[in-house]
Chain A
């Protein structure tokens, strides 16, 4: 039953340890149609969390539901509605962007006519149409990331998980990627993204979660976070502390408490 799930993502008591705990009893809910930014210092457990959601790591314990589907019990069904993009674009040098999109559509078993129309639309949208028939081996980092993004969108996922998607992109490419992501959210999709570029989270996210030592230490809109950090005005966001100040205050507070 996934059609009317109010939450795109429900995480409960999620635990993952390597040498030491990376994710330590994380609870997290992301609403359907929301742009959610997950922030945290290096080693906080952000990437580990996202990789567990995407099915790339098995949790030690806890539950993950994606669009109402128990992702641990039925991973294929959860993956069908999800897309994952990491900071390292996952593409094949010897394929053209079009061939890559055909391959991804094949993996997600998308009807070919529909996939082809979507692929052409995405390639045009991301400014890749002139390069659609060139092999990816000569592409810049920005172009490769755009090809990966097109691959993530070609199967029309309801939940898109992005781990530092803007790392290394130039201003133009970053704007294109952000614009595509915003349009997905406006169309009802859900975005869950980690980033170290706090301005992006500040400007784009509906809600922001701050994670440290594998736990969620604060969550809410920017204004709610400011209040939680003792840096905000209840009157509104304008003139309040920046997300950077708020984030650093929250992390420092948590470090002191620890």
Chain B
């Protein structure tokens, strides 16, 4: 038994909460689903091992040449940046979410111990989140290439530790530089940019150099190999650690744990002050309208549309959440821009990317407009039919999609009218499908729960993704042959039919 108030005692408390939170997330609050979730998880693990075998099984005996080191380092860097992004998200939430902070800060317990445990928990969580995706690949490499590949597990621990140390450092630096009010938004944006920057950067480089969206073309290029340092460089230590070099693994692990320890030692004692400062931002007046605007002539539908757009525009947190999806539109935009110059046939690559992005963005926006209504009773008691309200909200979503994608489609139309036409059709259908799925599965939630929206209905989440993929595939095939596009279109329609069939009963209001 650990002594109450000790770091171990807090760690037990935190782990119990984390475990229950995870269970609730996986089972959507229904314990009877645990068996099904476990079976689905096992199936996922088996499937991932099969995927890993197909993808990297042949690299198990890879030699330590520069090309291999570049490929492994790039993969590690990509995963690490995603970890940093997630860790920043978690750290920002730890500062700003109130939950039990008031209780902890009001208690005579040594708060630095609590926050030391919380920072360590973030590092642990980052490593654990990477495991389900990384473990199948590592296991396949171990099975085919020998025990040396087990070092990759140690590397994951090191990545979690360094990512968390950097995320905590970045968030605190932002807190000090721009204050608690702005940090919440800026940290979210920085996290989104960090998470996407590496992939997008490689894609943009590949497009500019080779006219393709493939990232490998840059990494395996002669120029990159020529630029790479010698095999003895410290830069390759993570890759060497993954390949089972004991010295490199020990060095990387020691350095990363020391970095995390330093971050904890520096930040944990001040964490309470940051949390208190962050709490102050809730109470202060954060914005004031420039001048009173006269009430405008409107209709209920227009009032609803305007409200949705105003709320979206004013919520930086929601904006940053949708920014992730928008960032991935940069490479297609660059490809389009480059296409004007070179006149290549690369437009066909754009069609599915734009359609997929539209479907995904529409899903998020539709959840906000339809389920994320903060005053549901007010809207439901308005003297307009429910269908009017739904239509106005759907129009609000379509309006945003139109604003985001119209410039890209217009640019595409100049280069290739046919591809623009197919893309427009795909965007409309993908957007309508994602919105319809959100309508069928609507559940009442607060906008602040946007991050957890996927938890409320996993069926809806998967159906939304499959539908977007289906319409993207349809558009991609349709760009070449309309007849052949019938097959993926039918599959997308079947996904929609399945979603409708599985959706819960309509709401009880009248």
Contact = CB atoms under 8 A, between A and B. Distances in A.
Same complex: yes
Interface of A: 54-58, 72, 75-80, 82-84, 86, 90-96, 98-99, 102-109, 112-113, 115-116, 119, 132-135, 137-138, 151
Contact of B294 (A90, A94, A108, A116): A116
A56 B384 CA distance: 13
Contacts of B303: 102-103, 105-107
Interface string B275-298: 000000011111111001011111
* Ranked 9 nearest A-B pairs via Cβ: A106-B303, A90-B375, A80-B383, A79-B383, A107-B382, A112-B295, A116-B295, A94-B314, A106-B298
Contacts, number: 119
Given A93-B374, A94-B314, A109 B381 contact: no
B509 A56 contact: yes
- Chain B interface mostly: loop
Contact of A119 (B295, B310, B379): B295
A95 B289 CA distance: 9
Contact of A58 (B284, B285, B302, B509): B509
B508 interface: yes
Contacts of B385: 76
27 contacts: A54-B377, A54-B380, A55-B510, A56-B380, A56-B381, A57-B508, A58-B510, A75-B510, A92-B307, A93-B374, A94-B310, A95-B307, A98-B292, A103-B307, A104-B378, A105-B295, A106-B300, A107-B300, A107-B382, A107-B384, A108-B300, A109-B299, A112-B295, A112-B298, A116-B294, A133-B288, A135-B286
Contacts of B376: 90
Interface in B292-342: 292, 294-300, 302-304, 306-307, 310-311, 314-315
A91 B509 CA distance: 20
Contacts of B297: 112
A109 B384 CA distance: 10
Contacts of A96: 288-289
Given A55-B509, A82-B381, A137 B286 contact: yes
A151 to B, nearest CB: 7
Contact of A113 (B289, B295, B304, B510): B295
Nearest to B287: A135
B302 A106 contact: yes
Contacts of B375: 90-92
A76 B300 CA distance: 12
Nearest to B392: A107
A44 B456 CA distance: 30
Contacts of A80: 383
